[in-house]
Amino acid sequence: MLNTDLLQGLDTAEADRVLGLGKTMTVESGGVLFRLGDRADTLYLIARGRIQLTLPIQVRNREENVTVEEQSTGHTVGWSALTPPYRFTLTATAQLQSEVVALDRQALGAYFAANPETGRAVSLNLAEVIGRRLQVFQAMWVREVQRMVESRCA
Amino acid sequence: MEMLLMGACLSIFGLAVMCMAFGAATREPEEQKAIPGAEREAVKAAAATRFFIEPAPPALPLAARSRVPIEALLLQIENHVRLEHAAAECFLESPNAALLHSRTISPLVN
């Protein structure tokens, strides 16, 4: 069984049933899993490898993709698939050959409707992942604002 | 006579080499010429005031920063994001104002 942040707290059999809804995919090094702005219908659990998440930044009038986060085995990427408006807000690229389990939103939704306890557990895990991300980026944002204030007041 | 001519030639050659070496040693680098005088003075002043206080190099003026290769700049940005991410994680482990505003060693902002 894949030990992943999204399936924490589920017993092995139930976690395997959820994973069974997905399709295992191999992404070659440098391969793009999804792009910023794409329609998000699929959530990805990293079974092996490393995925980098990038955002475009204008550098000297050139648009460059800058890594803002890296995720490895056991972590989830692409949770935009579970939250409206179902559009990816980052670009995900494999840093090395990686294996992911692709879970379709519709399939997950149907399974959770039939198994509400599993749906609740996964939703709480998802809230933890999103909450943590929010707290980290909030702190990063405050630090940048602080530096901006200091440079303005210097 | 031949010896005299050879000696004269060697002297002239030696003198030419010395002139070139002196010229190279005293000439300003091309990129330094490109920086406007005011900015160059600002860098010198910053270096002078910080010399005995802190070893950190002075912040580069805009013109100097624009000469940094874009690949190096991107690496600096990504390194900066990693450091900030780590600082934010550190803050979340034990939230307090001091950790939130801890100084960064990122060259992008120093």
pLDDT tens digits along A104-148: 999 999 999 999 999 999 999 999 989 999 999 999 999 999 999
| Length reported for chain B | 110
Name the residue with higher pLDDT: B42 or A103. Answer: A103
Cβ–Cβ under 8 Å, residues A46 and B58: no
Query: Whole-angstrom distance between the N-terminal and C-terminal Cα of chain A?
Result: 55
Taking Cα atoms as reference points, which of B30, B31, B50 lies closest to residue B42? B50
E strand or H helix at A150, and its extent? helix A116-153
Question: From A142, which residue of chain B is nearest by alpha-carbon distance?
Answer: B100
One-letter amino acid at B17 equals V
Residues spanned by the domain of B96: 68-110
Q: In Å, what is the CA distance from B91 to each residue of A107, B84, B86, B104?
A: 38, 10, 9, 13
Taking Cα atoms as reference points, which of A41, A46, A57 lies closest to residue A19? A46
Name the residue with higher pLDDT: A1 or A84. Answer: A84
For chain A, the average pLDDT equals 94
In a mutagenesis test of the A interface, which of B80, B101, B106, B110 is the best target, namely the one with the most A β-carbons within 10 Å?
A: B101
Buried/exposed A121-132: b ≥16 CB within 10 Å, e otherwise: bbeebbeebeee
Asked if B91 has any chain A CB less than 8 Å from its own CB, the reply is: yes
Taking Cα atoms as reference points, which of A55, A71, A139 lies closest to residue B104? A139
Cβ–Cβ under 8 Å, residues A44 and A76: yes
Question: From B62, which residue of chain A is nearest by alpha-carbon distance?
Answer: A60
- Flag if A140 and B84 touch (Cβ within 8 Å): yes
Mean pLDDT of B71-88: 92
Give ipTM to 2 decimals.
Answer: 0.78
How many CB atoms sit inside 10 A of residue B100's CB?
16
* Residue B62 placed within a domain: no
Could you give the CA distance from residue B48 to residue B42 in angstroms, rounded to a whole number?
10
* Residue B47 placed within a domain: no
Asked if A149 has any chain B CB less than 8 Å from its own CB, the reply is: no
Q: What is the pTM of this model?
A: 0.69
The gap from C-alpha A101 to its chain's centroid, in whole angstroms, comes to 12
- Flag if B91 and A62 touch (Cβ within 8 Å): no
Q: State how beta strands A98-104 and A42-48 pair.
A: antiparallel
Q: Which of B78, B92, B104 sits opposite A67 (nearest CB)?
A: B78
* Residue B42 placed within a domain: no
* Residue B99 placed within a domain: yes
Architecture label for domain A5-153: Sandwich (2.60)
The tally of domains found in chain B comes to 2
Asked if B21 has any chain A CB less than 8 Å from its own CB, the reply is: no
The gap from C-alpha A37 to its chain's centroid, in whole angstroms, comes to 14
What percentage of chain A reaches a pLDDT higher than 70? 99
Mean pLDDT of A39-67: 94
Asked if B93 has any chain A CB less than 8 Å from its own CB, the reply is: no
Asked if A67 has any chain B CB less than 8 Å from its own CB, the reply is: yes
Q: Which of B85, B100, B109 sits opposite A142 (nearest CB)?
A: B100
